[in-house]
Copies of this chain bind each other. A is one copy, B any other.
Amino acid sequence: MKTMSLIVLAALAAPAHAQFAKPDDAIKYRQSAMALTGAHFGRLGAMANGRVPFDAKAAADNAEVVALVSKLAFTGFTDGSGQGNTRAKAEVWGEADKFKTAASRQQEEAARLLAAAKTGNLDNLKAAFGETAKTCKGCHDNFRRE
């Protein structure tokens, strides 16, 4: 997975200059992307946990959204956007390498989740969902205030 990890890190490190006119825009942007990530990840969870019937097409569609919008979310943690209407801890910027590593892990698992969803096999989805969920929780535990 080293190659993917480097690709993901490169994508996350892409210049974000002029993407947000002000810090609040970056905050709103990442919160929007997180909200969509959560909504579609939740739909996958409902299938993985048997609360709704497994639908292979819907699973693949949802996983595709998760992979894309979770990537977008990480582009919103721009320098200077740690203050304001945000639950992001100062560690996002203070321990930037650790945060980037956690983000990179989530992106790897999101890519695996998409691949798993595309197999059309519920067991694959369940396994990948669990692994991805761990990376979400890990980052929230360490970098998001209660």
Chain B hits for A52, CB < 8 A: 18
Residues of B within 8 A of A39 (CB): 19-20, 25, 29
Residues of A within 8 A of B (CB): 18-20, 25, 28-29, 31-33, 35-36, 39, 43, 46, 52, 65, 68-69, 72
20 A-B residue contacts at CB 8 Å? A18-B46, A19-B39, A19-B43, A20-B39, A25-B39, A28-B35, A29-B35, A29-B36, A29-B39, A31-B32, A32-B32, A32-B33, A32-B35, A32-B36, A33-B36, A36-B36, A36-B69, A65-B72, A68-B68, A69-B69
Minimum Cβ distance to chain B for residue A81 (Å): 14
The residue on B at minimum CB distance from A71 is B65
What chain B residues lie within 8 Å of A72 (beta carbons)?
36, 65
- Of the candidates A20, A25, A35, A46, the one having the most CB atoms from chain B within 10 angstroms of its own CB is A35
Residue ID in chain B nearest A33 by CB atoms: B36
Chain B proximity of A71: nearest CB distance (Å):
10
Residue of A25, A39, A52 most packed against chain B (CB within 10 A): A39
Which B residues are in CB contact (< 8 Å) with A43?
A: 19
The 3 closest A-B pairs by CB, nearest first: A32-B32, A32-B35, A32-B36
Q: Of all chain B residues, which has the CB nearest A29?
A: B39
Please, which residues of chain B bring their CB within 8 A of the CB of A28? 35
Q: Given the interface contacts A28-B35, A29-B36, A32-B35, does A65 sit within 8 Å of B68 by beta carbon?
A: yes
